[in-house]
Structures are given as structure tokens and as C-alpha cells.
Amino acid sequence: MSVLGEQAYKNAQKTTATGRDLEADALTQTALRLASSLKQWQEGDGDMENLFEALRNNQRLWTFFQSELVKEDNPLPLQIKEDLLNLSLFVDKRTFEMMADLDPGKIKILIDINMNIAAGLQLQGSGTP
């Protein structure tokens, strides 16, 4: 596929993407950036600031989710909203812990959370219960 064709395809995807698709994509991209930054840092190819920026981006994403979850017009069932808010608090706590004392295993948990939530959103978007 040519570069122009690929860009046109990506633009078409953006215009037809649902909210769930966009959320899944944001979670996936953020998880991939965290994983890449962590790997670079562990191998000595990246600096700690790059990893911290990836952590801050992840926290910003989850802060956005928090703001959406507490809106009165949010259509999600109450239990799901509460579960996601509790998960977002865990993400916040873990992020602050990582800023104080980097632990690759704990960062991996954040990556896994993002990827698992993204996978669930993608399944829901495809019509699979």
C-alpha cells in the first residue's frame, strides 16, 4: 500500500471510529509507548525522563477516563463505572509509586491493564458479548 493510500485509510478509520474504538486505540498506544520506553530504559538506550513522560501520558489518559466516568450522562452501568474508577485510582497510585521508585514489574502491570481494557473494548465494539 502506498504512503498516500495508507494515510487515506487511517483518515477513514478515524472518521468512522466509535468512542470505544478510540478509547481502545488510546489505551493500546499508551501501553505500547510505556513498553517501548521501559525496554529502552532497561537496555540503556533511553533515559529515565522518556519513561517518566510515558507514565505521565498514561496518567493523563486515565484522568480523562475518570472525568468521563463521573459525568451524569455517562451511559455505563453504575457497577462498571465504579470498577473503572477504582482501577483508575490504582493506576494513579501505581504511577506515583513509579515516579518515586522505578520498578519494571509494576510498570508491566500498568501496561497489562491498558492492553486488557483495550481488548475488552475491541471485543465489545465488534459485537462480541
pLDDT tens digits, 38-95: 999 999 877 889 999 999 999 999 999 999 999 999 999 999 999 999 999 999 999 9
Helix (H, G, I), strand (E, B) or coil at 120: helix
CB under 8 Å to 108, separation ≥6 — which residues?
Answer: 38
122 class by beta-carbon count within 10 Å (0-12 exposed, 13-18 middle, 19+ buried): middle
Amino acid symbol at 41? W
- Taking only the tens place, the pLDDT of each residue in 8-42 is 545 555 545 677 889 999 999 999 999 999 999 99
pTM of the full predicted structure?
A: 0.80
- Tell me: pLDDT of 4 over 70: no
Domains of the chain as residue ranges with CATH: 3-125 (1.20.120)
Cα separation, 81 vs 71, in Å, equals: 10
- Tell me: pLDDT of 129 over 50: no
- Answer yes or no: are the C-beta atoms of 86 and 65 closer than 8 Å: no
Q: Name the region of 121 (left: φ>0; alpha: ψ -120 to 50; beta: rest).
A: alpha
Q: In the structure grid, which three cell numbers stand for residue 49, read together?
A: 525522563
User: What local confidence, expressed as pLDDT, does residue 38 receive?
Assistant: 94
